[in-house]
Every structure is written in structure tokens, then in C-alpha cells.
Structure 1
Amino acid sequence: MKRRRFKQVLSLRDRLIEHAKLARQQANKLPPGKERENLLRRARQSETASHIDEWLSSPGLRAPQ
């Protein structure tokens, strides 16, 4: 079975930021409750992952040449 590979148009960081933004927008439309809290948690996780990705790809972490 062949793997299906997709070329990503946006970077991981951009996709994570977009996901966080959409999750927050959806959460703001919901009344307080478990579903809203789950969406807000996912938004925070996406933002954190975006920051980690930015940190890992920063030039300060490059191996010496």
C-alpha cells in the first residue's frame, strides 16, 4: 500500500495558529460548558505547539558547522 503524501501550502506554525484562531472563534459562540472548555484547551495547545515550533526552528538552535 502506498502512502499518500500531501504538500502543505502553509507552514506548521501557520496551520497551528489558524487552528487556534478557529477554535477560539467556535468557543466564543458556545455557552459556558465542557465543549467550550475543550475548544479553548485545544486552542491553547495549538498556540503552545506553535511557539515550540518557532523555538525549535530558531537560528540559535542550529548545530555548529
Structure 2
Amino acid sequence: MPAQRSPRQSLTFEYRLAQEAINLRLQANGMPAGVRRAELLRKARQIDVAGELNKWLTSPGLLPPS
């Protein structure tokens, strides 16, 4: 019998990235200005960029290198 996938795994990669960025921003909003807050916001921006890169890399219009 094949293993069942958990509901979390059925979510798309982009959705999971977006959720993580939202969670990081929510954590940062509850903190005073400082190094930890800046790190959380930086990580959220990095995740946003990763999502955009993934969209670009998986787009049907992307041509292979020649």
C-alpha cells in the first residue's frame, strides 16, 4: 500500500514559501527594533525572492541554455 502524503505536502512550494514569509513578518511585527527583527525581515525578503525565482525557473517560457 503506498504511503499517504500529509496535507502539508500537498500544498505548492510557492504557497509554503509565501506562508513562511508571512509568519516571519508577523513575528517581526511583534518585536522591538533590533538585530533579531531585522534578521526576520531579511529572511522574509529572501523567501520572497526565492518564490519569484522559482516561478521564473518553472515558467513554460524559460528557454534552456544554449
Structure 1 residue 62, shift from structure 2 partner: 5.4
Secondary structure, in 3 states, of the residue corresponding to 1:32? coil
Secondary structure, in 3 states, of the residue corresponding to 2:49? helix
Structure 2 counterpart of 1:10: 11
Note the residue ranges of structure 1 that are not aligned, 5 or more in a row. 1-6
- Normalising by structure 2, we get a TM-score of 0.79
Structure 1 residue 41, shift from structure 2 partner: 0.6
Percent identity, aligned pairs only? Answer: 44
- Normalising by structure 1, we get a TM-score of 0.80
- Aligned-pair RMSD on alpha carbons? 1.5
CA distance in 1, matches of 2:16, 2:42: 17
- Residue by residue over 1:6-55, the C-alpha shift from the partner in whole angstroms, topping out at 9 and shown as x without a partner, is x8221111111110010001101100000000100110010000000011
Structure 1 segments of 4 or more deviating over 3 A?
Answer: none
CA distance in 2, matches of 1:23, 1:53: 20
Q: Does residue 24 of structure 1 match 2:25?
A: yes
